[in-house]
Amino acid sequence: MEETTGAWAAALPHPALRGVVKPYVAYATSAAAPSVHAGLPSRYLTFIAALDDPLHIIGGPGSENGPRTVEAGVGGLHLRPVQIAQRTPQRGVHVSVDPMAARALFGVPAAELAGTTVEIEALPVSWARDLPERLAEACGWRDVFERLDRALMEGRVGYTVAPEVRHAWELLVRTGGRVPVHRVAREVGWSRRHLGERFAAEVGTTPKQAARVIRFERSAAALRAGARDLAAVSAACGYYDQAYMNREWRAMAECTPTEWMCEELPFLQDGDIGPVPESRPWTR
């Protein structure tokens, strides 16, 4: 694999958003980056805005009707990797959002975003229409983050997810996806069938699928953090054994953990997030 170079920055969102929005991550990749990047399944909604060349989605969720370009979009929970081609150096910003906040921030339930990528112009929120232009006019990463804050804050609406669905989601997250679905149903006071229907209508996956995503994400995070004992990782993340974890990785990443560590992990580790730089014009 070719040597990777790039620049990264991060910032916490506005305090009112921090319970549901992860730190903003800005990126600037060079031509040396891999030609195709796999966006792995995650328990978060993924909002990405490209500031130069648009994203080229060539496979996986979001490419059901063939390859497409997206200037700014939101992807929901998905069970397969999104294949993104890099054809030129790129700058952009990546935001991870709790699916329980989808209605409040994006105007639609996470279920309407699941398994695909929706361009933000299609969302029923006023801030989405000109956000790419506003971000492109920013004079540095700090300015980008401040504009994101203003957009998300001005677009918030008061919407409360059914407490049973929220409790079920939080229980799955808190246990790392290891709690059986029948116990989740008993905990929230619903039948397993009713929980599955209501959960899927809000999140876009069944509780069992959500648990799979959460376990998978935990295993990927462990590998990013330096864990190399795959048997220990599989046990810690709730898999029956390493072979089971390998099967889940083939289904959700289309590769084994070992293959991913060889092909993608060096690229991801090369992009260690540093402090937010002072605002300054970009060299275009």
Per-residue pLDDT of 206-221, as tens digits, reads 999 999 999 999 999 9
Instruction: Indicate the pLDDT class of residue 174, thresholds 50, 70 and 90.
Output: very high
**Mean pLDDT of the region 149-153:** 92
Of the options 1.20.1560.10, 1.10.10.60, 3.40.50.2300, 2.60.40.10, the CATH number for the domain spanning 163-265: 1.10.10.60
Residue 130: the pLDDT is 86
Closest to 181 in 3D by CA, of 163, 206, 155, 208: 208
CB 275 within 8 A of CB 141: no
C-alpha 181/C-alpha 156 separation (Å) is 32
* Tokens at 147, concatenated: 């504009």
pTM of the model: 0.88
C-alpha 48/C-alpha 75 separation (Å) is 8
35: Cβ contacts below 8 Å, ≥ 6 apart:
85, 86, 87
Instruction: Indicate the pLDDT class of residue 104, thresholds 50, 70 and 90.
Output: very high
pLDDT at residue 185 is higher than 50: yes
Produce one character per residue of 74-113: b if its CB has 16 or more CB atoms within 10 Å, e if not.
bbbbbbbbbbbebeeebbbbbbbbbbbbbbbbbbbbbbbb
CATH of domain 6-159: 2.60.120.10
Residue 31: the pLDDT is 61
Residue 49: the pLDDT is 94
- Domain ranges across the chain: 6-159, 163-265
Closest to 96 in 3D by CA, of 217, 275, 263: 217
pLDDT at residue 274 is higher than 50: no
CB 177 within 8 A of CB 215: yes
Residue 12: the pLDDT is 95
pLDDT at residue 252 is higher than 90: yes
